[in-house]
Amino acid sequence: MKILSKNANELLLLAMKEDSAAKGDYLLIEDRSRSMIVQVYDEEYLSSQALIEDIVKEEVVNASSVENLHDPLNIGSLSRLVRDARIFRAKIRASVKDGKLSSDVTWLPSRVESKIRRLAMKELDSFLGRRGIFPIPLGRTGDSEEFEIYAEDLDGKLTIITGKKESGKSHLSKMLVKTLVQHGAFVVIFDLNNEYSGLGWNRDGTPSAIHRQVKVLEPGKTLRFTLNYCGKGAVSGMLKNALDMPAASLREFFRIWDWLENKQSLSIDAIGNAVNTWNINELVRDALVSRYHVIQSSRLFGDSGLRFEDVISAGGGGAALVINMGEVSPTVRRMVVELVLSKLVDLLERQIIPPIFLFAEEAHLYIRDTYWEDIITRMRHFGVYTTFITNQPDAISDSIYRQVDNIFLFNFTNDGDLEKIARVSLADSDTIRSIVRTLPQRHCLAIGKAVCDLPVVVRVAAAEVLTLGETKKFFKK
C-alpha cells in the first residue's frame, strides 16, 4: 500500500490485489521514528477516465475476436493488475511517537519512504494502555482476535445500544448484564419483551452461572409496593409524569395523603374512601377518582410489598432484577418506570443501596422528557448508570446523546437513522455512514470511552445463556 493523497483528516491509500483490509481495520503508517494510526472506513476501485476507456476497448476486442492476441511483453497482465487496484479511504486517528500515543497529527508521512501495515488489536491496545480489573469479553475483531472491554468503562457512564431490529442489540445487552452481575454489580432491567428471564439458564437447559442471582419481578404480582415504602415523592411523581394529573388535583391528593398519614391509616382503600367523601370541587374529584381506579387496577400497591434494599442485601455478590413489562398496559408500564426510578434515587441519596446499572430495553416506548433527562444529568451523580437499548435512535433526545459515553452501533440502512446517529455520535459521520450501513448481523461498531474513542468493529460472541425474545414465526424451517 502507498499513500496517494490527503484531504483534511482523510488519507487515500493505493492498494494492489494482494493488499487486504476490511472496513474498520486499523493501519499503521511508519515513517522513520514516527508512526500514524489510520482506520479504513471505505474501499473503492482506482478509477480514471483513461482506465475506463481501456477496459471498454479490451472488452470490445475480446468480444469481436476469437483468436488469442500475441502479447510478448506481457502487457495484458500488467493491465489487469492496474484494473484490480483499489483505493482505501482512511481516517487519521492518532500518531505514535517513542511508543506512546499522541494526538499530534499535524505532520505528513512520506509517500515514498513510509511503510503501511495492518495493526493488530493487541498492538493497538498496547498503544492505548487499555486495561482494567473486570473484563467483559465481547467477541472478536476482523482479524479474529479476542476483544474485550472492561466493566470500569461502563461504571458511571451513559451507554446506548442501537440498531435495526434483529441486528443483535438485546444479544449484546444480555452479555453485558450477565458479566456485570458476575463481577458483583447490581443491575435493574426494564424488560418489555419478557426475554431477560432467560439469563438464569444456559441454552442446554442447565442453570447459568448467575442462576441464583436473577430475580424476575412481575408488576402487580411479585412487584408490589406499600404506599409508606414508596413515599409521597415517588407517588406524586407517578401521578404527575405517568398519569398526567393536573396541579389542582395533585394538591388535593397531597392533603388527603397527609391526613391519612397523620392518622397512620395510609392505604389504597383509605385513599379511595377519602376521595369519595372529601369536600372538593367535582372536577377535581373526577380527576382523582379516575386516577385512583387506574392505580387500583394496576395492583402495584398492597399491604405488603417489595423492598429493593432487602433484595440487594440478600444478593451480596451481585444481582439482576428483571422487571417484566411485556404483559402490562403502556400506562402501567410508565407507572412502574416512574416508581422504580424515584425509589431507587431515594435509596441512593440516603446511601442505603450501592450504585446500580439500569438497562432500559426498547427505551423508545416509555422515554418521557419529564424524567429521563433528569436521570442522565443528575442520577449518575447518585449512582444510576443507564444503558438504553432501542431500534429508534430518533426517539432519544439530542440532550441525552450529548452526554453519552459509549455507543454500540449495529446495522442501520435507513438514511434518517444514519443521519441522526452520525450527527450526534462520538465518531465522524463518514465512518458511521459507511461502516454501519454494511455491518452483518451481530456485528457492531463500538465507539466511546470503552474503546478509548477509537471506533472498533466487533463480531459479538454467541451467548451462553438462554436467549428469549426471538421473533416468533408461523412457518418454521
Could you tell me the mean pLDDT of each successive run of 10 residues in the chain, 477 residues long?
A: 89 86 90 89 81 73 64 61 84 85 85 90 86 90 86 91 86 92 93 86 86 91 92 88 88 92 90 88 90 92 90 83 90 89 89 92 65 68 87 79 88 81 77 88 90 90 74 69
Q: What's the CA gap between 348 and 365, in Å, rounded? A: 26
Task: Find how far residue 425's CA is from the centre of its chain.
Answer: 12
Check residue 143 and give left, alpha or beta (phi > 0: left; psi -120 to 50: alpha).
alpha
How many residues in total does the chain contain?
477
Please tell me the predicted confidence (pLDDT) of residue 373: 67
**Residue 471 carries which DSSP code?**
P
Please tell me the predicted confidence (pLDDT) of residue 77: 62
Residue entry with cell 480514471: 48
Closest CA to 156 of 425, 453, 381: 381
Closest CA to 15 of 2, 5, 31: 2
Q: Are residues 105 and 16 in contact, defined by beta-carbon separation less than 8 angstroms?
A: no
Please tell me the predicted confidence (pLDDT) of residue 166: 79
Contacts of 397 (CB under 8 A, 6+ apart): 369, 373
Closest CA to 411 of 174, 177, 175, 169: 169
Q: Are residues 146 and 137 in contact, defined by beta-carbon separation less than 8 angstroms?
A: yes
Contacts of 318 (CB under 8 A, 6+ apart): 180, 181, 182, 183, 184, 185, 186, 187, 210, 213
Instruction: Write down the number of H helices and E strands in the chain.
Output: 16, 18
Q: What's the CA gap between 353 and 238, in Å, rounded? A: 22
Q: What's the CA gap between 73 and 406, in Å, rounded? A: 56
Q: Which three cell numbers stand for residue 292?
A: 385512583
Contacts of 169 (CB under 8 A, 6+ apart): 161, 162, 163, 389, 390, 391, 408, 410
**Residue 265 carries which DSSP code?**
-
Measured between alpha carbons, how far apart are the two ends of the chain, in Å?
46
Please tell me the predicted confidence (pLDDT) of residue 292: 92
Buried b (16+ CB within 10 A) or exposed e, 107-140: eebeeeebebebbebebbbebeebeeebebebbb
The amino acid at 299: R
Q: Are residues 97 and 33 in contact, defined by beta-carbon separation less than 8 angstroms?
A: yes
Please tell me the predicted confidence (pLDDT) of residue 98: 77
Q: Which three cell numbers stand for residue 115?
A: 511503510
| Distances from the Cα of 167 to the Cα of 40, 191, 258, 410, angstroms | 23, 18, 50, 6
Q: Which three cell numbers stand for residue 331?
A: 400506562
pTM: 0.86
| Distances from the Cα of 460 to the Cα of 38, 41, 146, 171, 409, angstroms | 23, 20, 10, 8, 12
Please tell me the predicted confidence (pLDDT) of residue 75: 58
Q: Which three cell numbers stand for residue 446?
A: 463500538
Instruction: Output the 3-class SS for 296-346.
Output: HHHCCECCCCCCHHHHHHHCCCCEEEEEECCCCCHHHHHHHHHHHHHHHHH
SS3 352: coil
Q: Which three cell numbers stand for residue 244?
A: 398526567
Residue entry with cell 473503492: 44
Q: Report the DSSP pairing between strands 100-102 and 406-409.
A: unpaired
Q: Are residues 393 and 425 in contact, defined by beta-carbon separation less than 8 angstroms?
A: no
Q: What's the CA gap between 360 and 187, in Å, rounded? A: 11
Residue entry with cell 503501511: 116
Please tell me the predicted confidence (pLDDT) of residue 370: 52
